[in-house]
Amino acid sequence: MVEAKLRIDQEIMIPIGENQLAGFLSIPENAKGLVLFAHGSGSSRHSKRNQFVAKYMQEEGLGTLLFDLLSEEEEKIDEMNRELRFNIPLLSERLIKTTEWVLSYEPTHGLGIGLFGASTGAAAALIAAAELSKDVKAVVSRGGRPDLAGSKLMHVKAPTLLIVGGADYGVIELNDKAFGLLTCEKKFEIVPHATHLFQEPGTLEEVGHKASIWFNQFL
């Protein structure tokens, strides 16, 4: 593990094949690790919820990368047909390529890598963790659909935390099913009274707290 010494706050463009994915990189001084955010269906780096959680993590000494899994052109197409946001293989491949890019990017090279996924992004995070088992040190899912990772769940080696709202009926059961398939170190946390988007007072703070503890333990 290598610590980033100087604070970094910068917009970046991540080259993935013929596409450029926009992102915002924030690394506090002496950060111990970097968490990549895989946004959920129809969301982006501008997600207020993920920005809130990312800021919480930064205050706990973790670097964060909020980035779009789709290019600007793809987002325009997705707004019309809403198909790409549910294309788990595509989202997973983008996250894998971005993680590989981060590992070789000079300002982030050497930092322990964690993946934070929301909604469909949770499936992408778990698939990426399975594919990059030597590089991804921890995974956290918030209100996610880890069940969509399918058979890849059994190949995840990174310690994984599933966080679900206590009032997110249906998603709780899907997470419980996925949790049973994970063979890595794992934990299942339910935030009381929280619905799918964690809009209730104090619930998103609870997500940030639990996720930060998990990542600081393993990155």
Which residues form the domain of 71?
A: 8-218
φ/ψ of residue 31, rounded to 5: -60, 145
- Whether 3 is in a domain gets the answer no
Which is nearest to 117 in space by CA: 137, 91, 135? 91
pLDDT of residue 85: 63
Dihedral, 68, 72, 75, 79 alpha carbons, nearest 10: 140
- Residue carrying structure tokens 């009274």: 193
In the 8-state DSSP scheme, what is residue 145? -
**Does residue 174 lie in a domain region?**
yes
pLDDT band of residue 79 (cuts 50, 70, 90) is low
In tens, the pLDDT along 166-201 reads 999 999 999 999 999 999 999 999 999 999 989 999
Number of domains in the chain: 1
Nearest CA among 85, 86, 159 for reference residue 129: 159
Query: What number of other Cβ atoms are within 10 A of residue 59's Cβ?
Result: 11
- Kindly give the residue spans of alpha helices, DSSP state H, lying in 39-196: 48-59, 72-81, 88-104, 120-131, 171-181
> Mean of the pLDDT values across residues 80-94?
79
Residue 82 belongs to some domain of the structure:
yes
pLDDT at 34 over 60: yes
What CA–CA distance (Å, rounded) separates 15 from 13?
6
Render pLDDT for 6-33 as a digit per residue (tens, 0 to 9).
688 999 999 988 888 999 999 999 898 9
> Residue 211: in which H helix or E strand, if any?
helix 203-218
pLDDT tens, residue by residue, 123-160: 999 999 999 999 999 999 999 999 999 999 999 999 99
Pick from 44-58, 74-88, 172-186: least confident: 74-88
Q: Is residue 128 part of a domain?
A: yes
Q: Is residue 172 situated within a structural domain?
A: yes
Kindly state whether residue 2 falls inside one of the protein's structural domains.
Answer: no
Residue 61 lies in a domain: yes
Q: What is the CATH number of the domain that holds 61?
A: 3.40.50.1820
Rounded Cα–Cα distance for residues 40 and 145 (Å): 9
pTM over 0.85? The answer is yes
**pLDDT score recorded for residue 83:** 62
